[in-house]
């Protein structure tokens, strides 16, 4: 059985770092930004544009007037759907190659029939703010208030994006196999435990 | 730092077995029914009575007429509070002895200032029903419908009991350090992974 680990995460919880470190410890590839790069390359889009479009709520981008039949779907919506669909295909192609870790992008939903092991990474507000401050560029002058606003907005976008494709809510523990609270912890220190848990889950000796 | 592991669990998720096996693997005591036994002994109550009273909602047991000033608190309520308070004291006494696993009884809330590691064990409905059927006595003629009703009722009682003592909701992932989904898994098979995670969490080599 291929070991496909998907990681959903709250912004600032260290989920991306966790995915990267996990893939290194397991000796399997980690797909994160690569998905954006591949999609951008295929469609000739700018990477930042794809990143931006691929975490926005497709339905919210759809003007309500359209639903009422006044206008034809607009170009932004069309591109948003196109990018989402390209991402889906890319994620499936990557997962079909074999064992891997995939960070974000609703991979848990997209790969459901391939029975991935789905992790959710979260943390308390204090830890998320501290992590965001620590990783902000030195010359980036960002206040705690702005960080909190950013955390809230990005997580809202992720939840909305997921809603477009799946019934189950983003972050609801029932949708994941293991929910990891990283509050006050260094991600690095948790990796050996998570690796063992993953091996146990797949019935392998630790 | 004492290793105090609290386990909150959905009925039928295998949380009790997980606690017992975890304590064996870690070589530390597991307190579960012993708490009931100790409280029953101290107050000269029947064990079943204590077990029953200690997972009931204290507030709901308090007749609304009392709140309106018509009646003096009744005997059942008095006993319920007495048992809850004895349980609190007992849980603290046990935790102060050193490393341990404590199953249920709001130990995560009661021991908050001792910084326990709090686990939540859950599973999908199908797995919980299957587990309940498997552990029902052979001569116990219980239908799936009755099991589902029991699961719902017991989990409701647990949530209400917790509400009496703490702000945070029972089962809300933010209140726990690790949430473990046991759906379709043998508890035994997950233990090595959980043990490693606990060690990593406490900064010990695995």
What pLDDT is recorded for position A65?
42
The owner of tokens 């599973």 is B123
Span B169-180, average pLDDT: 94
- On whether the CB atoms of residues A26 and A105 are closer than 8 A, the answer is no
From the CA of A16, how many Å to the nearest CA of chain B? 18
What pLDDT is recorded for position B69?
45
The two tokens of residue B5 are 């592991």
pTM of the model: 0.88
CA of residue B59 relative to chain centroid, distance: 18
Question: Among candidates B67, B63, B114, which has minimal Cα distance to B88?
Answer: B114
**Does B123 have pLDDT greater than 90?**
yes
Does the model's ipTM exceed the 0.95 cut?
no
- Chain A: residue nearest B192 by CA? A200
From the CA of B153, how many Å to the nearest CA of chain A? 19
Residues 6+ apart with CB under 8 A from B25: B191, B192, B195
Instruction: Please answer yes or no on whether B196 and A198 come within 8 Å at the CB atom.
Output: no
DSSP B2-57: --EEEEEE-TTSSHHHHHHHHHHHHT--EESHHHHHHHHHHHT--HHHHHHHTTS-
Collapsed DSSP state (helix, strand, coil) of residue A178: strand
Could you list the pLDDT tens digit for every one of the 206 residues in chain A? Answer: 889 999 999 999 999 999 999 999 999 999 998 888 888 888 788 888 877 776 655 544 444 444 434 444 566 677 777 888 888 889 999 999 999 999 998 899 999 999 999 999 999 999 999 999 888 776 677 888 888 998 999 888 888 888 877 777 899 999 999 999 999 999 999 999 999 999 999 998 76
Residue A12, phi-psi category: left (phi > 0), alpha (psi -120 to 50), beta (remainder): left
Chain A positions in Cβ-Cβ contact with residue B177 (cut-off 8 Å): 181, 183
What pLDDT is recorded for position B58?
52
**Of A85 and B25, the one with more pLDDT:** B25
Chain A positions in Cβ-Cβ contact with residue B180 (cut-off 8 Å): 178
Q: pLDDT over 70 for what percent of chain B?
A: 86
Q: Calculate ∠ Cα B14-B17-B23, nearest 5°.
A: 135
**Does B203 have pLDDT greater than 60?**
yes
DSSP H stretches of helix in A75-143: 75-96, 107-110, 125-135
Collapsed DSSP state (helix, strand, coil) of residue B103: strand
What is the pLDDT confidence band of residue B55, given thresholds at 50, 70 and 90? low
Instruction: Please answer yes or no on whether B193 and A181 come within 8 Å at the CB atom.
Output: no
What are the C-alpha distances in Å from A167 to residues A80, A87, A156, A159, A204?
20, 19, 16, 11, 32
**Does B141 have pLDDT greater than 80?**
no
What pLDDT is recorded for position A177?
98
Candidates B3, B122, B178, partner chain A, best to mutate (most A CBs within 10 A): B178
- Chain B: residue nearest A124 by CA? B174
Candidates A171, A200, A204, partner chain B, best to mutate (most B CBs within 10 A): A200
What is the pLDDT confidence band of residue B56, given thresholds at 50, 70 and 90? low
């Amino acid at each position: 059985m291929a070991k496909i680990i998907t990681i959903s995460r709250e912004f600032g919880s260290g989920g991306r770092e966790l995915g990267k470190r996990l893939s290194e410890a397991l000796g399997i590839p980690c797909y994160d930004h690569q998905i954006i790069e591949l999609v951008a390359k295929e469609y000739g889009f700018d990477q930042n544009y794809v990143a931006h479009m691929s975490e926005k709520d497709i339905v919210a981008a759809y003007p309500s007037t359209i639903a009422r039949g006044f206008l034809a779907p607009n170009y932004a919506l069309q591109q948003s759907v196109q990018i989402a669909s390209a991402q889906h295909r890319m994620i499936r192609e990557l997962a079909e190659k074999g064992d891997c870790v995939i960070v974000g992008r609703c991979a848990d939903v997209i790969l459901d029939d391939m029975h991935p092991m789905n992790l959710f990474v979260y943390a308390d507000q204090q830890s998320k703010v501290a992590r965001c401050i620590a990783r902000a560029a030195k010359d980036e002058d960002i206040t705690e208030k702005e960080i909190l606003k950013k955390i809230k907005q990005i997580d809202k976008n992720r939840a909305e994006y997921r809603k477009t494709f799946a019934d189950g809510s983003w972050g609801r523990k029932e949708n994941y196999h293991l929910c990891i609270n990283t509050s006050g912890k260094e991600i690095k220190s948790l990796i050996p435990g998570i690796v063992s848990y993953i091996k146990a889950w797949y019935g392998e000796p630790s």
